[in-house]
Amino acid sequence: MLHSLNAMLAPAVMERLALVVNHVLAAEPAAVARLTPHARRTIQLQMANWPSLLPPPPLLAFKVTPAGMLEWHSEADASVDADLLVRVHAANPLLLMARAMAGDKPAVEIDGDAQLAADVNWLLHNLRWDVAADMERMFGPAVAYPLHRLASALARGLRSAMEAAPGLAQRARPPAP
């Protein structure tokens, strides 16, 4: 059931993810300037060590547009070879998500075209999404500030819980006979 739900939701989620990424890129002219020379090149994100109990993530391949934005490639478009492969360690997806929400950068391995890799690496280290400013534009400052504080606190709590989880699981195991 999870696999069929994943297949139904993946295109909608990925299209919205591309919109969010392009929103963040458009807010930073230096980011767009770095991607524009790589028009028509493909960047693929691979979730390494993804837990087998979870449905696999959708294909995370994006083509750079002539405008310096990203366009998601669906499974049907997957025949294109990636010019750059970015491997993200994803053995614990919840911890990865909690760290991302807290602003931490994931550990990645990058293979492929050297200049495209350098520019994507720059984006990973320098691109910031000003969530608070976007929330303020959408909801006004009276709602955005407390909502942002709550979301940040939840992200920090989730991160702490996920970092503590392996130790708790280890201590909860009965001793070996």
Q: Are residue 84 and residue 11 in the same domain, yes or no?
A: yes
Q: Is 177 helix (H, G, I), strand (E, B) or coil?
A: coil
Q: How many domains does the chain have?
A: 2
Contacts of residue 29, defined as CB under 8 A and 6 or more positions apart, other chains included, come to none
Q: Which domain holds residue 160?
A: 132-172
Q: Are residue 123 and residue 137 in the same domain, yes or no?
A: no
pLDDT at 157: 64
The model's pTM is 0.68
pLDDT at 168: 47
Tell me whether residue 177 is in a domain: no
pLDDT at 169: 46
pLDDT at 57: 82
Q: Are residue 105 and residue 155 in the same domain, yes or no?
A: no
Q: Which strand (E) or helix (H) includes residue 152?
A: helix 141-172
Tell me whether residue 146 is in a domain: yes
CATH of the domain at 31: 3.30.1050
Tell me whether residue 43 is in a domain: yes
Q: Are residue 92 and residue 142 in the same domain, yes or no?
A: no
Show the low-confidence residues of the chain (pLDDT under 50).
1-2, 168-170, 172-173
